[in-house]
Structure 1
Amino acid sequence: MLTVYVLNVHEIVKTWELPNCLQEYVLIVLSVFRITCIFLTLASRWWNREEFMQVCDAFRRQYSPEILPHCRKRILNKIFCATTVDTVHIVITTLMMRKQLTLNMALGTWGLFSTTVIVHVIVMQYFVAMASIRGRYILLNKELQALISETRSLNPNRIGVFITSCCSLADRFEKIAKSQSDLQAFIDRLTRVYEVQVASMIIAYYIHLVANLYFVLSLIKHNFKSMISPEFAMLIYTTLIVLYFVDFSMNASNIVDLLDTHDEMVQLLGQRTLFQPGLDQRSMASL
């Protein structure tokens, strides 16, 4: 279906009855870049399939039900935004091609949309993984905060209880350190596996945003004949641009919030200088 789209892209663009050739060229270039990003994404996924399966297995080991409350809302918002973007694209294309829709054009267009949905699923996997890692960091920070509070409340005068508590706290601190180390290794591996997909989607976002801004300006100057009404077309394109900004900001904030959560852990570890003197060497080493 994607091959049919490539072979018929010029005819598909012509059915849109655009006012000038520049807009046709913009659509064709947009399609070429879109297909290139799709092929790069899928080729990268196939090339790294073995490592990708290992990453999936590592993610399964990292996941726990306690993480879900800390990432459920943003994951649902991401799904809604990505689904709405694809739906608006389908509406625009259907409106443009409704007068001269043929079987080849329908197969090609739906092939392109189907492949784009696959890419959205791949990006969604990365988004869910990073959101889950942030949820895991939040749980570790809460546990670390509780341990720090417990450590600061130790009484060195009660020698027996103090030594026992130090050993217990050292074990718990080491468990948190091991969990954080595993998380960091998982992030590095995840980023390496998804780097081509993420770069391709950033390029696709930028190209689509520029193209849609251009078509909004063109609508202001020209009324596209194939549209139901210029007002409705303006509403659709404006909605699409807003959704692109929202979707991109959600992707960016997902990474930034994870970095902020990591910084919060670093700040918590900085409180070890406030502990009472007398902690055993194992407890201090685990910090």
Structure 2
Amino acid sequence: MDFFFSFAEWTNGSTGSCGRLVSMHIVGLSNFDFDLRTGRVYTTTRSTLLAILSNILLVVLLVVYFTLRKDLTTTLATATKLQEYVFIVTTGLQIMAGLLTIVNRWRQRRKMMRLVRCVIRVYRAKPQVKRMVRWAVLLKIVVTIVTHSSLLELAANASQYVGPKQMLGLGLQFVTMTIMNLAISQHFLIMLLVRANYRLLNRELRQMIDECKHLSYYSPRNGVFMTKCCFIADQLDNLGRIRSHLHSIVTQLQEVFGLQALMVYTEYYITTIGVSYFLFSMYKYGDTNLRVTTLSRILVFIWMASYYLDALMNLAIILQVQGDEQKMSRILAERTLFAPGLDVRLEESFENTQIQLVRNPLKMNVMHLFPTNYSNTTAMISSVFMNSIYLIQYDMANF
């Protein structure tokens, strides 16, 4: 099966001749349909009602579960209070992230539909990108499955007794985490498509620059020269239009997924601090307090490896798109090496493309609170290390 189509359908429950996959409707994340073959994005009574019923059922079950279960830390009965607090905060954050993702999908429903239309339009213009991204999509699917399955098995293994209430709690936690991670996967897929198109544009731009260098130094007869210059100018104008469409997709993506991005950063931040403290607790308290078995240790390290690999993939695709935009600017800067005498229209096309990059640069941020770049990522990692040290020092001083 084609990985790109299967993942695209799976991430939003595409219907029509491309296939009908309703997994996103079942968990309540998707509340509309689309057809990849025709590019049609539409709402139906079925998709709307299914999403509403799924959302209501999830909220009701969460209320019932937290009402019936008074003690949220029975699996950590011999743990310290600080360990209990860290466990409650990380678990509560995951559940809240899933619920906020659902609320945001209803609030941003129209914007999400416009975004999907733009994505399908760009994909249909260059369908060869599916060959460029299939292995990245496959790796994303495998890593996501390993992360979820190892975490679910770890939670079940940590419980001494798995009764109906415990199963309900694990199931609800798994569903909310799945909702959040499916939203992240949608973001990853769209950014992967954007990056593949940027790579194609840079490849085409490199060919244009090389051809223009040859034309500027070894100009053929006037008729051939003018024909080649006009052809390259048309290609350059088309490149500028495609780049503008990609910029629009990224801008809409930040608006639609802004809240999810904030929750993802917060989850990674808090979870990493919690994981650091958990590893310290394993070293300090051993197996007595945390009931850590050999199987639990193996599952923990499998989950950590897949969880942070997934985080690196999500971050890397954003930084790579920014790098491709900068590479485009560097390639365009080579026009200063042309010998004088190129066609005026071609010169204007190069100038307009450069002005477009300068006036409308690709900037990525999280709800306009902080940018997503190398320096901010480094600062965030440093902050995580510092707060992990503070938490460990607090444990050493008080427990």
Normalised to the residue count of structure 2, the TM-score between the two structures is: 0.67
Counterpart position of 2:286: 222
Check whether the contact 2:94–2:176 (CA below 8 A) recurs between aligned residues.
Answer: no
Q: Deviations over 1:168-219 (max 9, x none)?
A: 1111111111111111121111112111101101111222222222222222
Q: Say if 1:215 and 1:226 are closer, same or farther in 2 by CA, change over 3 A.
A: closer
Closer, same or farther in 2 for the Cα pair 1:15/1:157, shift >3 Å? closer
Separation (CA, whole Å) in 2 of partners of 1:176 and 1:44: 34
Paired letter, 1:81: V
Matched residue type, 2:168: L
Structure 1: how far apart are the matches of 2:208 and 2:265? Answer: 41
In structure 2, runs of 5+ residues without a counterpart are 1-60, 351-399
Return the letter of the residue paired with 2:97: C
Q: Which runs of 4+ in 1 moved over 6 A?
A: none
Question: Alignment RMSD, CA only?
Answer: 2.0
8 A Cα contact 1:126 1:194, kept in partner:
yes
Q: Which runs of 5+ in 1 are unaligned?
A: none
Q: Name the CA distance, whole Å, in 2 between partners of 1:86 and 1:152.
A: 52
Match of 1:43 in 2: 103
Q: Which amino acid aligns with 1:95?
A: N
Note closer, same or farther for the CA distance 1:94–1:112 as it changes in structure 2 (3 Å cut). same
CA distance in structure 2 between the aligned counterparts of 1:67 and 1:234, rounded to whole angstroms: 40
Q: CA deviation at 1:16?
A: 4.1
1:82 aligns with 2:144: yes
Letter aligned with residue 48 of structure 1: Q
Check whether the contact 2:101–2:259 (CA below 8 A) recurs between aligned residues.
yes
In structure 1, distance between residues paired with 2:76 and 2:154: 10
- 3-state SS of 2:71 partner: helix
Query: Of residues 142, 147, 151 in structure 1, which corresponds to 2:203?
Result: 142
- Cα deviation per residue 1:28-72 (whole Å; 9 max; x = unaligned)? 222222222222222112111100110011000111331123322
Which string of whole-angstrom CA distances, capped at 9 and with x for unpartnered residues, describes residues 72-103 of structure 1? Answer: 22222222222211111101111122x32222
Aligned to 2:78: 18
Q: Partner residue of 1:278?
A: 341
Residue 318 of structure 2, aligned match among 240, 245, 255: 255
Task: Measure the CA separation in 2 of the matches of 1:271 and 1:226.
Answer: 61
How many Å separate the matches in 1 of 2:78 and 2:272? 19
Q: Answer whether contact 2:157 2:296 (CA < 8 A) is retained.
A: no
Matching of residue 107 in structure 1 with residue 168 in structure 2? yes
Q: For 1:24 and 1:256, how far apart are their aligned partners in 2?
A: 36
- Distance in 2, matches of 1:5 and 1:224, equals 28
Q: Name the structure 1 match of 2:115.
A: 55
Which amino acid letter does the alignment assign opposite residue 283 of structure 1? L
Q: How many pairs were matched up?
A: 285
Is the Cα–Cα contact under 8 Å of residues 166 and 283 in structure 1 kept in the other structure? yes
Question: Between Structure 1 and Structure 2, which shows a larger proportion of helix residues?
Answer: 1
Report the more deviating stretch, 203-212 or 238-247.
Answer: 238-247
* Equivalent residue, structure 2, for 1:128: 189
Number of the residue aligned with 1:244? 307
Q: Which has the higher contact order (CA 8 A, sep 6+)?
A: 1
Q: Is the contact made by 1:81 and 1:243 (CA closer than 8 Å) also made in structure 2?
A: yes
CA contact 1:14–1:24 (8 Å) conserved in 2: no
Tell me, yes or no, if the aligned pair for 2:199 and 2:324 is still in contact at 8 Å.
yes
Pick one of 41, 65, 68 that aligns with 2:130. Answer: 68
**Pair 1:159-2:219 in alignment:** no
Quick check: 1:4–1:105 contact (8 Å CA) kept in 2?
no
How far residue 130 of structure 1 moved from its aligned partner, in angstroms, is 0.6
Query: More displaced, 268-277 or 131-140?
Result: 268-277
SS in structure 2 at match of 1:277: coil
SS at match of 1:284: helix
